[in-house]
Every structure is written in C-alpha cells, then in structure tokens.
Amino acid sequence: MKEWIQSRRTIRKYKSVPVDDALLNELLALAGRTQTMGNLQLYSVVVTRSQEQKERLSPAHFGQPMVTQAPVVLTICADFNRTSEWCRQRKANPGYDNFLSFINAASDALLFTQTFSCLAEEAGLGVCYLGTTVYQPLQIIETLQLPRLVMPVATLTVGWPDESPALSDRLPVAAFVHDETYHNYSPADIDQHYAAKESLPENQHFVSINHKETLAQVFAEIRYTKKDNEALSQVFLDALRQQGFL
Amino acid sequence: MKEWIQSRRTIRKYKSVPVDDALLNELLALAGRTQTMGNLQLYSVVVTRSQEQKERLSPAHFGQPMVTQAPVVLTICADFNRTSEWCRQRKANPGYDNFLSFINAASDALLFTQTFSCLAEEAGLGVCYLGTTVYQPLQIIETLQLPRLVMPVATLTVGWPDESPALSDRLPVAAFVHDETYHNYSPADIDQHYAAKESLPENQHFVSINHKETLAQVFAEIRYTKKDNEALSQVFLDALRQQGFL
C-alpha cells in the first residue's frame, strides 16, 4: 500500500472495458472486513451498471460525465434499515430513527468506502468520489428507491483508467497534525502551510482564469460559497428528516 | 492489501513499546494522499502521547483501557477552521459555518482516518476505533482545546499488538449489496443474511450471558438503546451548534 498510495490519482476517464462482476464482488467482500460499530455493518451499496440508471443518476451529480461513462457507479449509503428489520424479525424494538444513528451509520459507510477505494486502486482500477452525493440526496434516494433509514453518503465511479493525470498537491503534514492540543493558526502559520500550494503554476493559472486575486477566493467565492452551502445544508437536513434520521 | 485485510483484527491490547515518531509521521503523511473535497483536506489530527492527556481523555471514552494503555491516541477532527483562517488571510469570506460543511469535513476526516488505519495495520501496528468519540464530544473538545468549526469524528488508539483475537464475523456480501435499486429485506432475506452470525457459538454465548432471547435484542435493548441514542443525538447536535456547524 505504501508503494502506490504516494502516487495515487483520482481517475475521471475510463476505458470502455467492463469491470468484471467477480472482481467487483471480491473487492466489496474484502472491504466488508472494515471496522464497524458493534459489527453491525451499517451500510449498503447500490451498484449501478445499466445505462438507463446512470442517466437517471446523472442530473443529481450535475451531469458530470463520469456517471454515464464509468462502467460501474457505486452509491454507498448509511443504512439502519437492514439492522432495524433484523430487530423487528427478532422480537427487538429498534431505536435508530435519530441523528446519532445517522452519524454512526454514515461513519461505517465512509470507512467501508475508503477501504474499497484503496483495494480498487491497488487492483489497478481508477475511482472518483462524487462530492455531489450530499448536494442532491433526494434525487438519488428516489432513483435508487432508498427506503426510510437509508441515506446516500458517498458515490464512487469505478473503471479501468484511461488517463494519467498529474499528481495533485497536498498540505505538509505539519499543517494538519497537532501535538497534544489543537494549536490555532497564526497568519505566519497559514503563510507557511499554504505557500507551496499557492505557488504551483496550475493553482496560479486557476486563480487567473477565475479572475480572482487569491486561490482562497476561488474556493470561497466561486466553488463553495456561503450561499450555496446554506441552501444545500437545508436540503440535506430535509432529506435526513424524510429518511427518518432527524 | 488483499493479503492482510482478510485477516485484520481490531487490537485493544498494546505492548509497552513506543510508536516511533518518524513512523507515525510517515503514515500520517501517506494518509494525506487520501481523496479530499476540492483538495482542501478538511481535517486535523490531534496526537495524544502524554499520560496526562490520555487520562483527561479517558472519561470521554467511558474509561476504556485502550485510551491510557495505547502509546498513541489519535483524535481525528472535521476541520473547517484552518480553511476559514486561510480565507480570512487571503481576502476571502469563508462560508463554512453550516451543516453541509460539517458533512463535507466529516467525510474528509473519516476517509483520511480509514486510509491511515489501513496503512498502520499493514505496517504491523494494531488500531482500535473508539465509537465513544461521538457520544461525548464536548469533553473531547474541551480537553483537546478544539476551536470553532473543529469537531471530533473519530478516535484511533494505536500501538504494537499484544494480543491476537479471533477473527470477527461479517455478513455475506449479498446482505449489503443491491443491484440497480435498493431491494428491501423480506423476513426470509433477514433469516438468510443473519443465519451464520446468529449461529456462531460466541454470539449465542453473548445472548445467554445477557439473558436475552435473540442477538438483536442484545443490541437494541442493551448496547445501543433508543433512549441512549435519543439523548446522545441531542448532545451531538448541541456540540455541532457550539462548534458553529449548525
């Protein structure tokens, strides 16, 4: 793992070669070894292979081309429905229609997803997380027919890589590791931690084509704005309520 | 990775041998290659090595012995504070004091944590997730001095294994994978998916020592009860509000 993780890249273009069912199932089963709360495995994975379903999912992901081009789209859900059904079939009263249970199931689902992502990349597959999953959950819920106590938390597109993008930058480890207590960031700390990122030609180009003065402005004023975040927070909370977690 | 993940175990007992700083930092840096929203790395890790801080953290984790025995305790936090500081230092107005931003940062933090966990286990270390992190976040926030827009979402105890527990069971892959749309579980499906788990001698013993009739009852009526879940939901939502995410 140490060998490939240093050079891992997110892959958004895939060969038109299918991903074998046996391989996919093997990787999903292996990812099932991931740590989980009380060994309950509070997640489900919906596998989309049909073109029709990909096209239905596409608008929820703002039409990003990976959704219809990737041979496989995985929607990973926080799932307390299965465990609750199990309880009901076993003379137990489930009490998982609440926010903490969403947090527990979402954590299980995300840890599972990341183990899967690592296994898939190590097997030579390319994957891409779609951050849009949490923007329009209601469309995904409807398309995948997710019942109460099931909430989508991650989407991965999966396929054989048909591109080899440049390695993306990362902050130095000192930027995110704190010794014993959290040490807040002085202006000098910020300068130091973000210097390399801000000086990269691709990031400077990104600032310039967006007609901004700083890279942070591109994020705060174009990509992830307060207005959008506030509107999407409401949508997500409404979806949690509809699915019975709030 | 395929080789060791099949036999991975959560480790709760550690040798009294330190975890080398250089190794820990290498693993943290490698885990930093994990996929992240907009490449913002919306997480921070607080490393606890001092006995004093471990003892302060211990009650938040219900006194579980791993906290004071493990050479290293990592508290991984959803962090929009650093990114917001960066924005403020770069003439940009951050808009991340909302629920969606918590979900985005928590996702980043959990994916990072699971990559770290895989790397650590592959390096021969033993780790244990502490689910208690989301039960008493306010105590952790105070002990680690987490500022606004920083919220603990996972804790890992880390050390060299001093036990080799039995492999825990998992559901068959068919129990959590759905083809194209979510297929809800019939009583027959539940019987089939949970049969192996329920027939294990250790799980039958667990039912018997808890004086219950079914394994599901142990979970729903003793380990994760509706009453506790509802009370802890309120605590978590209050902590999110205090930290500025709600």
Taking the CA atoms of B140, B145, B146 and B148 in sequence, report the sign of the dihedral they define. positive
Predicted confidence at residue B70, as pLDDT, reads 98
CB contact under 8 Å between B110 and A107, yes or no, is yes
Task: For residue B225, list chain A residues with Cβ-Cβ distance below 8 A.
Answer: 95
Interface test with B, best of A98, A133, A200 (most B CBs within 10 A): A98
Predicted confidence at residue B131, as pLDDT, reads 96
Token pair, residue B83, equals 């990114």
Predicted confidence at residue B181, as pLDDT, reads 98
Distance between CA atoms of B195 and B144, rounded to whole angstroms? 43
Residue of B nearest to A215 (CA): B90
CB-based contact B73:B156 (threshold 8 Å): yes
CB-based contact A187:B89 (threshold 8 Å): yes
Task: For residue B188, list chain A residues with Cβ-Cβ distance below 8 A.
Answer: none
Interface test with B, best of A52, A146, A229, A240 (most B CBs within 10 A): A229
Contacts 24+ apart (CB under 8 A), A199-205: A200/A169, A202/A166, A203/A169
pLDDT digit string, tens, across residues B69-86: 999 999 999 999 999 999
Task: For residue B220, list chain A residues with Cβ-Cβ distance below 8 A.
Answer: 87, 92-95
Predicted confidence at residue A5, as pLDDT, reads 96
CB-based contact B33:A5 (threshold 8 Å): yes
Predicted confidence at residue A78, as pLDDT, reads 99
Q: What is the DSSP letter of B219?
A: I
Tokens 């997480």 correspond to what residue?
B43
Token pair, residue A235, equals 């949508």
ipTM confidence = 0.98
- Out of B90, B185, B193, closest to residue A214 by CB: B90
- Domains of chain A by start residue, with CATH: 2-165 (3.40.109.10)
Predicted confidence at residue A209, as pLDDT, reads 97
Average pLDDT value for residue range B181-201: 98
Predicted confidence at residue B68, as pLDDT, reads 98
pTM of the prediction?
A: 0.98
Predicted confidence at residue A81, as pLDDT, reads 98
Name which of B218, B176, B223 is nearest A87 in CA terms.
B218
Confidence tier at B228 by pLDDT (50, 70, 90): very high
CB contact under 8 Å between B177 and A44, yes or no, is yes
Interface test with B, best of A76, A90, A203 (most B CBs within 10 A): A90
Confidence tier at A232 by pLDDT (50, 70, 90): very high
Average pLDDT value for residue range A144-156: 98
| Stated length of chain A | 246
Q: What is the DSSP letter of A167?
A: P
Confidence tier at B172 by pLDDT (50, 70, 90): very high
Q: How far is CA A109 from CA A11, A34, B8, B111, B176, in A?
A: 21, 10, 18, 10, 11
- Out of B39, B150, B232, closest to residue A100 by CB: B232
Confidence tier at A51 by pLDDT (50, 70, 90): very high
Predicted confidence at residue B232, as pLDDT, reads 98
Confidence tier at A221 by pLDDT (50, 70, 90): very high
Percent of chain B with pLDDT over 90: 100
Predicted confidence at residue B75, as pLDDT, reads 98
Average pLDDT value for residue range B189-201: 98
Q: How far is B147 from chain A (nearest CA, A)?
A: 8
**Across all residues in chain B, what is the average pLDDT?**
98
Tokens 């903490």 correspond to what residue?
A100
